[in-house]
Structure 1
Amino acid sequence: MPSNIKLNYVEFPAKDISATKKFFEDAFGWHFIDYGPDYTAFENEGLDGGFYKSDLTSLASNGAALLVLKTSNLAQTQSRVESFGGKISTPIFSFPGGSRFHFIEPSGNEFAVWCVTET
């Protein structure tokens, strides 16, 4: 199998592209490039991707892939998510090697954030 085939890009639906962009800009400092009114892209965030206009949402409970962001301060990141309009869908929980929480961004897509457990 070729070793040069890697994950490179991810796309999400967005009911409200403007609200989704503002959330990710404010909560995480992401930058976007607009490609017309129905598509916006982000780069250099660990994995490049974009949001396209759609009434659909991406939820793990419906079988969608869950993208997980990594932070060094889980409580502070959760506070930022909540203060900029994200809704916590799964509170912080621990697992071997770390902790995480899940949230829903303004367009209804689910993401998670995790942090390595300090030893």
Structure 2
Amino acid sequence: MQHEKLHYVELPAVDLAATKLFFQQVFNWSFVDYGPQYTAFSDQGLEGGFFQADLCSNTQHGAALLIFYSEQLEQTLKKISAAGGTVVKPIFSFPGGHRFHFTEPSGNEFAVWSDKYQE
């Protein structure tokens, strides 16, 4: 941990089991459960957890966007779709690279970007 640096993020999850399975399948995450309404992840660049809630984190409502990096953008997109994620913004370019946005089974929005994507 570093003094005064971001360390942890907490996100809501309507379906904790589906959210855990999604991140295990796509990104090979492991989780530690702290009771039936909270699960935590670590060693992913930023530690955090999901808490049981009827809410979701979405940029449409002003939420912060957590962005993954991928050296193989299209392969990551295919893994996300195969695991039950929904692409909400297809691959687009921006200064510095390309990215897409997706939601996981509980509706939380994330993005994936790459500086190696070739159209």
Question: Match for residue 20 of structure 2?
Answer: 21
Amino acid at match of 2:7: N
Q: Distance in 1 between matches of 2:117 and 2:63?
A: 30
Q: Secondary structure at the match of 1:85?
A: coil
Q: Which residue of 1 aligns with 2:67?
A: 68
Q: Provide the C-alpha distance between the structure 2 equivalents of 1:20 and 1:64, rounded to a whole number of angstroms.
A: 18
- Matched position secondary structure for 1:77: helix
One-letter amino acid of the counterpart of residue 47, structure 1: L
TM-score (norm 1): 0.95
- Please give the alpha-carbon distance, in whole angstroms, between the structure 1 residues aligned to 2:66 and 2:92: 17
For 1:70 and 1:97, the matched residues in 2 are separated by 12
How far residue 118 of structure 1 moved from its aligned partner, in angstroms, is 6.4
Structure 1 runs not aligned, ≥5 long: none
Q: What TM-score, normalized to structure 2?
A: 0.95
Equivalent residue letter for 1:111: F
1:118 and 1:103 map into 2 onto residues whose CA distance is 17
Q: Distance in 1 between matches of 2:8 and 2:117?
A: 30
- Aligned residues between the structures: 117
Percent of aligned positions that are identical? 55
Q: Structure 2 vs 1, CA of residues 118 and 15 (structure 1 numbering), >3 Å: closer, same or farther?
A: closer
